[in-house]
């Protein structure tokens, strides 16, 4: 099929590449000419495992192309996906101006029947507004359908998630676009659920809020574990064996971050408020998350006493492993809060150093993770990169003025760390 994706951010680019990979002919549109040029020349603007090769192969095979022209994308495809940012506004609501602009652009360019599919995360009822906007701005008065098709990929595992989705949600107002949407997703062999548009839009916010709730739940349990001498990992393992609960997303941490959970929680609370529902449960999820960072910082200051003029090594800057994304990263918040206390920082991340340079000033970026501890008073693990588990602990122990390690991701075994001579403080253990 011929498909157009408008917006080449994480969702748009990975979706475009995966659609091309299964045989569709895909045009990716972005209004950022510099980004389109990079993509046309075989580069990619983000780090995502497996993506670069996939983009390259599909461009070479002639199935994937990039343009700045929305009109070209609209003309050449019958199914047009919108995958533009929906950033938060100051009050927690969602900025839908990019969606609205793209809806107008599509409308102006439409001269025949189109299926306009929203993939961006949007508040419930956005589909109605998109449909109304297209109707108003389409001078040719052609038929069209609006579809909601939320995306559930995780950064760092985006290609894998998109190629093997748990489910595909298709929200429609009529049956007309269903066959075409099923054809788009047929090669992925995933269960498809067809709903009304409002339900599809809600599935996305309800899912992300539930996952965030799961993390805050285990983080709240971690506090009780610390107070009682229990081990949060043992508790999570025991809970997770109940199939109704499941082990995934029960890893206690210094808090969740990223461009999705914090934003989507605020948006969902706001959406509920606007329809007269107080979602106190989700407000508590947010509060547990911010308290988790406060508690972690307190652990550091309680142990080091005075923070001013201390040097701390930080392992991890991305908001999670396998990505170079530092947006709303707990690791970056941690660094900035330590700096406010007068701490000097030596920091490392396997992929996010370049992006972190734009948000962190006056820190020493260290390319080799094993060299971070040199001259430091303590070491902190802030991101759950798998390779940190292979840290040369013996070298770190000798390099630190005193062998203190704060682990915000529970990567190491407390008994083993103690045996090696570390003062080791992790989460809920």
Active site residues: 260
| 68, 30 contact by CB (below 8 A) | yes
- Residue (188 or 249) nearer to ligand UGA, CB: 249
Q: How far is the C-alpha of 112 from the C-alpha of 105, rounded, in Å?
A: 14
The residue (of 35 and 320) whose beta carbon lies closer to ligand UGA is 320
Assign residue 291 a region: left if phi > 0, alpha if psi is -120 to 50, beta otherwise? alpha
Q: Which of 376, 383, 373, 372 is nearest to 407 (CA)?
A: 383
Crossing angle, helix 197-228 and helix 261-274, to 10 degrees? 120
Task: Identify which of residues 16 and 257 has a Cβ nearer to ligand UGA in the complex.
Answer: 257
User: In angstroms, how far apart are the furthest CA atoms of the chain?
Assistant: 75
CB of 136 to ligand UGA, least distance (A): 29
Task: For ligand UGA, give the closer residue by CB, 103 or 250.
Answer: 250
Closer residue to ligand UGA, CB minimum distance, 66 or 261: 261
Closest approach, Cβ 292 to ligand UGA, in A, equals 9
Instruction: Give least dist CB 124 to ligand UGA, A.
Output: 15
Whether the CB-CB separation of 6 and 83 falls below 8 Å is answered with yes
Residue at token pair 């996939």: 54
Select 253 or 426, whichever has its Cβ closest to ligand UGA: 253
Closest approach of ligand UGA to the CB of residue 313, in Å: 20
Q: Long-range contacts made by residues 66-69, C-beta under 8 angstroms, separation at least 24?
A: 66/8, 66/27, 66/28, 66/29, 66/30, 66/36, 66/39, 66/40, 67/27, 67/28, 67/29, 67/36, 68/29, 68/30, 68/31, 68/32, 68/33, 68/36, 69/29
125 or 154: whose CB is closer to ligand UGA? 154
**In the complex, minimum distance from the CB of residue 47 to ligand UGA, in angstroms, rounded to a whole number:** 13
Angle at 88 between CA 83 and CA 92, to 5 degrees: 140
Q: Cβ closer to ligand UGA: 171 or 403?
A: 171
Question: Which residues, 6 or more positions from 73, have their beta carbon under 8 angstroms from its beta carbon?
Answer: 4, 5, 6, 27, 29, 67, 80
User: The tokens of 352 are what?
Assistant: 């996010």
Query: What are residue 347's phi and psi, to 5 degrees?
Result: -125, 150
CB of 425 to ligand UGA, least distance (A): 17
Helices H / strands E in the chain, number of each: 16, 14
Six-digit token string for 253: 């941490």
User: CB of 151: closest distance to ligand UGA in angstroms?
Assistant: 6
End-to-end CA distance of the chain: 52
CB 86 within 8 A of CB 122: yes
Contacts with ligand UGA, residue ranges (CB under 6 A): 121, 151-155, 208, 211, 215, 249-251, 253, 256-258, 260-261, 319-320, 384
* Residues in a beta bridge with 64: 26
405 neighbors 381 (Cβ within 8 angstroms): yes
Give min distance, CB of 225 to ligand UGA, in A: 15
């Amino acid at each position: 099929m011929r498909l157009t994706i408008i917006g080449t951010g994480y969702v748009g680019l990975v979706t475009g590449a995966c659609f091309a990979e299964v045989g569709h002919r895909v045009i990716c549109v972005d209004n950022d000419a510099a980004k389109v040029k990079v993509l046309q020349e075989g580069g990619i603007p983000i780090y995502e495992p497996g993506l670069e090769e996939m983009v390259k192969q599909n461009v070479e095979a002639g199935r994937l192309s990039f343009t700045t022209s929305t009109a070209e994308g609209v003309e050449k495809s019958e199914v047009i996906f919108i995958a533009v940012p929906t950033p938060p506004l100051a009050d927690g609501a969602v900025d839908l101006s990019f969606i609205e602009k793209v809806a107008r652009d599509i409308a102006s360019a439409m001269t025949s029947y189109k299926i306009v599919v929203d993939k961006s995360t949007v508040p419930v009822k956005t589909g109605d507004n998109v449909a109304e906007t297209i109707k108003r701005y389409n001078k040719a008065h052609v038929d069209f359908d609006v579809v909601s098709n939320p995306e559930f990929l995780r950064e760092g595992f985006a290609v894998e998630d998109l190629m093997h989705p748990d489910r595909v949600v298709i929200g429609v107002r009529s049956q007309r676009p269903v066959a075409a949407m099923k054809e788009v997703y047929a090669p992925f062999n995933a269960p498809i659920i067809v709903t009304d548009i409002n339900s599809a839009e809600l599935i996305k916010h309800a899912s992300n809020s539930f996952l965030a709730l799961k993390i805050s739940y285990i983080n709240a349990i971690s506090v009780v574990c610390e107070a009682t001498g229990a081990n949060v990992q043992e508790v999570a393992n025991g809970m997770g064996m109940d199939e109704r609960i499941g082990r995934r997303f029960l890893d206690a941490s210094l808090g969740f971050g990223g461009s999705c959970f914090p934003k989507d929680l605020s948006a969902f609370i706001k959406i509920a408020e606007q329809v007269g529902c107080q979602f106190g449960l989700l407000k508590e999820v947010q509060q547990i998350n911010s308290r988790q960072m406060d508690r972690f910082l307190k652990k550091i200051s309680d142990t080091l006493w005075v923070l001013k003029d201390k040097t701390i090594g930080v392992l991890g800057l991305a908001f999670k492993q396998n990505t170079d994304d530092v947006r709303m990263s707990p690791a970056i918040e941690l660094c900035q809060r330590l700096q406010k206390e007068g701490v000097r920082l030596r920091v490392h991340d396997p992929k996010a150093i370049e992006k972190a340079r734009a948000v962190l000033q006056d820190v020493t970026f260290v390319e080799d993770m094993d060299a971070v501890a040199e001259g430091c008073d303590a070491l902190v693990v802030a991101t759950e990169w798998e390779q940190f588990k292979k840290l040369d602990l013996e070298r770190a122990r000798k390099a630190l003025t005193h062998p203190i390690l704060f682990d915000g991701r529970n990567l190491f075994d407390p008994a083993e760390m103690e045996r090696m001579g570390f003062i080791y403080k992790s989460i809920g253990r």
